Amino acid sequence: MSQRRSYQIGTGLFIVLGFAALGFLATQTTSLANYRQGPTYALQARFTNVGQLKLRAPVKIAGVRIGSVHAIELEPDRLDAKVTLAIDERFKQIPDDSAAAIFTSGLLGDQYVGLQPGGSPDMLKNGDELVLTQSAIQLEELIGKYLVGGNPPSANAKPEAEKTSAPGN
């Protein structure tokens, strides 16, 4: 009887431990950990290019997380990306001339929205739009511009042609 009880306790302990481990993996090490249950308010920002920005990416001021990206959609009439940010209610004191930019954390890191606080005495309210924005920096474009041959070949050819023809003239 006591032996049967001890293996039942052992089995129960094993199952509880297993599900505790699954719960730990699912809630503490995945994107579920970023769901903040506290109340938030929405801000809009328009970008000409959001790069690799993903839903639930962090929104930061001075490197501290204050909210997350709630929605990314294309505005059909202006053809730019409208990003909705869900900001924690605790951070109500954001001036309405603040600027939003998309940064990358580290070389291989994820992209996030960084807010640069302005100096206006008026604060942003729910549904307001951040007017000053800076799009994501495309690493490929930078490489194309500065590392691989400078200008595209057609633009390159022109000055050369002018140069060679100049002495003849």
Chain residues that interact with other proteins, rule: CB under 8 A? 7-8, 10-11, 13-15, 17-19, 21-22, 24-26, 28-34, 56-58, 65, 105-110
DSSP letters for the chain: -HHHHHHHHHHHHHHHHHHHHHHHHHHHSSGGGG---S-EEEEEEEES--TT--TT-EEEETTEEEEEEEEEEEETTTTEEEEEEEEETT----BTT-EEEEEESSSS--EEEEEE----SSBP-TT-EE-EEEPPP-HHHHHHHHTSSSS-HHHHHHHHHHHHHHHH-
| Shortest separation between residue 54's beta carbon and other proteins, angstroms | 8
Q: Which is nearer to other proteins, 18 or 159 (CB)?
A: 18
| Shortest separation between residue 26's beta carbon and other proteins, angstroms | 5
| Shortest separation between residue 146's beta carbon and other proteins, angstroms | 19
Q: Which is nearer to other proteins, 110 or 122 (CB)?
A: 110
| Shortest separation between residue 11's beta carbon and other proteins, angstroms | 4
Q: Which is nearer to other proteins, 30 or 165 (CB)?
A: 30
Q: Which is nearer to other proteins, 109 or 119 (CB)?
A: 109
